[in-house]
Structure 1
């Protein structure tokens, strides 16, 4: 029994182009991250088919094996997609929780800024105005606006770290 399995695996490896063709038909290419795993799974299915149909002509066995390998690969791809679809909302929820925590920290740090720092960052970063426009709006020199912005960002970094 063990000898038959080894022979079937050797034959499957010698005719691995059939498995590669089934992968190509299923639109799984070498650049796909799961290609090697799917290829190995295809070889196993092909070897099982060769073992089951040892008494049939090689051409007939290969036709049926190709279809079995193809459908097994599609089943595995569907299974991976279902798993990924199931996991994505869980991951998104985890990131939303982290984002909420970061927002709370940012709000606390924002409260500690001076009014001029809040106004400058609000106009420059949040409103999308250039630093020159913001300096003109606040009626301060550009150099002072640059210094205030640098200090405010440094305060935020220290408080959020």
Structure 2
């Protein structure tokens, strides 16, 4: 790995070139972070290459392309995580609505179990299925959507409907 870092330190131009192709110029706010991440990735790529190939030939174009692909993968993963966080924040913006996990977790008490049963009776078949997924610990919207063969938006709509029905039930008491 030491050899890989030496290569990465000597080949800053290669890193600058890859970052330029990914539209990370010197003035970009994330440039320094991306540059350091690219340097580490280049060291890993170089080490892997020489471990597999045992070649002494120049491999600049290979390193360039491999580094570009690795950085693109990292950026996609980062963006995907940001989108998930954004969706979960949107889903949790309804502060006045209780979270379904909280509703189900409190179901140990007999009174609450009765309220949960009353809520269950008011739900549609799809909402009942959603409640059953939550009750067994499957709480990720994406996972439930795949299991039910529905979109995340539909699952979120049903979840919000359950939350509103729960509030109505509490207001009646």
Q: What TM-score, normalized by structure 1, do the two folds share?
A: 0.49
Q: Which has the larger radius of gyration?
A: 1
More helix by share: 1
What TM-score, normalized by structure 2, do the two folds share?
A: 0.46
